Homo-oligomer: A and B are copies of this chain.
Amino acid sequence: METDRVTIVDVAARAGVAISSASAALNGRPGVSEATRARVQRAASELGYVPSLRGRSLSTKRAFAIGFVLQRSLDVLESDPFFASFIGGIEQALSPRGYALVLHMGTNERDTENRYRELAANRRVDGVLLNELRVDDPRLPLMNEIGMPAVGIVPSAEGFELPCVRQPSAPGVAAMVRHLVDQGHTNIAHVSGPARFVHARERVEAWRAEMARHGLRADTLIPGDFTYQGGRAAADAISQMVDRPTAVVCANDLAAVGLIIRAQELGWDVPGDLSVGGYDGIAMGTYIRPTLSTVQAAPRRVAAAAANLLLDVIEDPAGSAGRVVDLAPGQLIVRHSTGKCPK
């Protein structure tokens, strides 16, 4: 069934050289005369030779692939727009360099960790991307333990011993808070993500710090979970409050959308009664009404940078040991879900 493939042996035979010479010629290694190289290359193209990844993998001990495990619960999956652009960014970096992406999915944290373990155990990939890092993330010691090259995607490189791509979200959150303060708001709540996530914490801290900078009290912290449903729950929580905030900064757009929709169901006007800001800059933010004020992150660029860094690390482990690549922070985009404080 499987067509007999053209191997390097065929190429060498046709060019009338040894396979070692053929290999060197094809890979642009020195030690081959130009005449030989040309002859080998002609033979290869005449035969339609494509090197076998399998043979190459075994002898070089490399897979020419990197791994990524997306962690999402099945119910959230369907609504999460993060995914596609992130993957697009990875592909953008991998494809020109001849690598492929092996994608796995974990439905919970243990599951995710096991996927990384598998990836490492059978050496299906040469390195992995780590995102949505948790405090004391077990994947970090795991990567060290098994000696798997890894690159983290983090808001801050502090205390992070792996090479990483850093895109701080603090400036964006601060800009959002500042924007709301400018609109006259003083009681600005924050709907956070789960505290076990580093980026969730960073956003809480950024909100706190910016509030303090304006002499405002940051006491309305509503725990969320980055989901649409979590955003809805936050609106319900607000409706129970004695001293209602007039503005909310959400840790991500999806939650902000949920919050806005639920707020409207509760009869509030957004932004008349309540201003709502998000974070991420997902397309959906321009679909809903009012359109969502947010901070535009760049998942595609982040992913591309991370993938490129990972390849650098793989191809030169020593040279790029503790590298940190900095990306511009997200920019505030003011749309229509934020407005003047009602008072």
Contacts and interface: CB of A to CB of B under 8 A. Distances in A.
Contacts of A88: 72, 74, 77, 105
Contacts of A102: 65, 100-103
Nearest to A317: B1
A18 interface: no
Given A54-B63, A58-B55, A79-B282, A289 B289 contact: yes
A78 B81 contact: yes
Interface in A292-331: 300, 317
Interface residues of A, number: 56
Interface string A102-121: 11110000000001000001
Contacts of A1: 147, 317
Given A78-B282, A122-B53, A101 B100 contact: no
Contacts of A288: 287-288
B72 A77 contact: no
A166 to B, nearest CB: 22
Contacts of A103: 87, 91, 100-103
A228 interface: yes
Given A1-B147, A3-B147, A122-B52, A261 B282 contact: no
A340 interface: no
A283 B122 contact: no
Interface string A34-70: 0000000000000000111111011001010100001
A243 interface: no
A274 interface: no
A201 interface: no
Contacts of A124: 53, 65, 100
Nearest to A5: B123
A33 interface: no
A300 B107 CA distance: 14
Given A57-B58, A100-B104, A287-B288, 12 more contacts: A52-B122, A53-B63, A53-B123, A65-B124, A72-B88, A74-B300, A78-B81, A78-B84, A79-B282, A81-B81, A87-B103, A102-B102
22 contacts: A3-B146, A50-B121, A50-B122, A53-B63, A53-B122, A54-B61, A57-B57, A78-B81, A78-B282, A79-B81, A87-B103, A91-B103, A91-B104, A95-B104, A95-B115, A100-B102, A100-B104, A102-B103, A261-B287, A264-B289, A284-B284, A289-B289
